[in-house]
Amino acid sequence: MNIFSGLDEIVQEKYPLSQCTWYGLGGPADYFITPRTLDELKDIAIRCKEHNMPIRVLGFGSNLLVSDDGVKGAVIKLDAEQFSETTFDGTKVTAWSGAELAKLVLASVEKGLAGLESLTGIPGSVGGSVKMNAGGNFGDLGSAVEKVTLMDNTGAVFEKSKPELVFDYRSTNITAPFILNATFQLTEADPEHILRTVKEIWMYKKNNQPLNTKNSGCIFKNPRGMSAGAMIDRAGLKGLQVGGAKVSDKHANFIVAEKDCKSKDVLRLIESVQQRVKEHFDVELEIEIEIWQ
C-alpha cells in the first residue's frame, strides 16, 4: 500500500528533480509532493515519520546540486498559494516560505522599507534563504529576521524568535524540517535612495558574476578574512573543466554547467578545486551549496 494513499493529486513518483534546479541536473525523487494547505503538509509529515521516510524540502533549487542517481524518500515543495503569501504591517513584513526573495526585496523597496536591499540579485525562496541565511558582500538575510514559524515532523507548529533564533555565516540553528514563514523587521527610508542601492548592487553582480549561465551561485564559503573566489583565481583555476562542469572565467567561485554536464562532473570539479587550493594556500574550502546524494 502506498503510504500517500488518497493524496494522488499532490504526489508524483520518480519525479525528475533536474526540472527543479538552476543547474538543471540530478536524478528523480522517489516521491515529489506539493501540499496545498497546512493540513496536507501536516498529514504528509506524520505519514513520513510513521514510515521512517526521509524528508527533504525544496525551495527554488538555486543553491542545490542533486545527485545523478536522485534521492530516496519524499521531496516536498511548498509553492502553493498558501505558502507563497506576503503581508506588510507597518515596518514589518511576513513572507511565507514559497515566496520569491527577489520579489520580496522589490516590494519592500517600493513601500519605502529598508533592510532587505542587500539581498538584491540573490535568487531563491524565502524559506531556503532563511535556512541558509542567504547573503553576500552587502549583507545577509538574518539581520532583518525577527521570528520564524516552523513545523516539526509530527506536524506541530511553533515559533522561534531572536535571541533563541541564531543566524551565522550561511547557516542558522533551525533544525525543524519545515520553515513556514518569516517575519522581517524593516525601517522606513526614502524609496529613491533604496532603489539606488538596489541598482548599484545589481550592476556590481551583473559585471562580476556569470548570471546568464547554469550555476548554483557561490560554491564555497569564504574562509574567515579571505575570499574563496580570489583564492581559486590565484591558484590558476579559472576555466578548469571536468566533463561538462567548468570553473567560471568571470567569477572563480562559480561552477557553471555546460552541454552534457552531469552532477558527478560538478562534484569531481569541486574536489579538484578543494585539493588545489589546499595545496596552494593550506586552506580547506567548505562547500556553501546544498548537495543531495
Identify whether 128 is part of a domain. Answer: yes
pLDDT exceeds 90 at position 267: yes
- Whether residues 104 and 157 share a domain: the answer is yes
Identify whether 114 is part of a domain. Answer: yes
Q: List all residues 6 or more positions away from 99 whose beta carbon is below 8 Å from its beta carbon.
A: 84, 85, 86, 125, 126
| Per-residue confidence (pLDDT) for residue 228, from 0 to 100 | 98
- Whether residues 50 and 88 share a domain: the answer is no
- Whether residues 284 and 188 share a domain: the answer is no
Return the CATH number at 265.
3.90.78.10
Note down the domain range covering 139.
84-194
* Structural domain total, the chain: 3
- Whether residues 186 and 223 share a domain: the answer is no
- Whether residues 98 and 71 share a domain: the answer is no
pLDDT exceeds 60 at position 204: yes
Identify whether 126 is part of a domain. Answer: yes
Q: Which of 161, 194, 227 is the last residue of a domain?
A: 194
- Whether residues 250 and 181 share a domain: the answer is no
Mean residue pLDDT of the chain comes to 97
- Nearest one of 90, 76, 176, 95 to 141, comparing CA atoms: 95
Binning the chain into helix, strand and coil, the percentages to the nearest 5 are 30, 30, 40
Identify whether 161 is part of a domain. Answer: yes
| Per-residue confidence (pLDDT) for residue 1, from 0 to 100 | 54
Identify whether 40 is part of a domain. Answer: yes
Q: What is the mean pLDDT of residues 137-155?
A: 96
Q: Percent of the chain at pLDDT above 90?
A: 98
- Whether residues 37 and 61 share a domain: the answer is yes
Identify whether 237 is part of a domain. Answer: yes
Q: Which of 58, 77, 96 is the last residue of a domain?
A: 77
Q: Which of 77, 101, 126 is the last residue of a domain?
A: 77
Identify whether 125 is part of a domain. Answer: yes
Return the CATH number at 39.
3.30.43.10
Q: What is the mean pLDDT of residues 97-104?
A: 98
Residues 28, 11: Cα–Cα separation, whole Å:
13
Q: Percent of the chain at pLDDT above 70?
A: 100
Q: Between 113 and 136, name the one with better pLDDT.
A: 113
CA angle 8, 6, 59 (to 5 degrees): 50
Residues 201, 197: Cα–Cα separation, whole Å:
6
CA angle 208, 281, 244 (to 5 degrees): 50
In three-state secondary structure terms, 84 is: helix
Exposure string of 179-217, with b = 16+ CB inside 10 Å and e = fewer, is: bbbbbbbbeebeeeebeebbeebeeebeeebeeeebbbb
- Whether residues 67 and 18 share a domain: the answer is yes
Query: How does pLDDT run across 25-73, given as a tens digit for each residue?
Result: 999 999 999 999 999 999 999 999 999 999 999 999 999 999 999 999 9
Tell how strand 28-33 and strand 171-172 pair up.
Answer: unpaired
Identify whether 200 is part of a domain. Answer: no
- Whether residues 180 and 224 share a domain: the answer is no
- Whether residues 190 and 112 share a domain: the answer is yes
- Whether residues 157 and 227 share a domain: the answer is no
- Whether residues 189 and 88 share a domain: the answer is yes
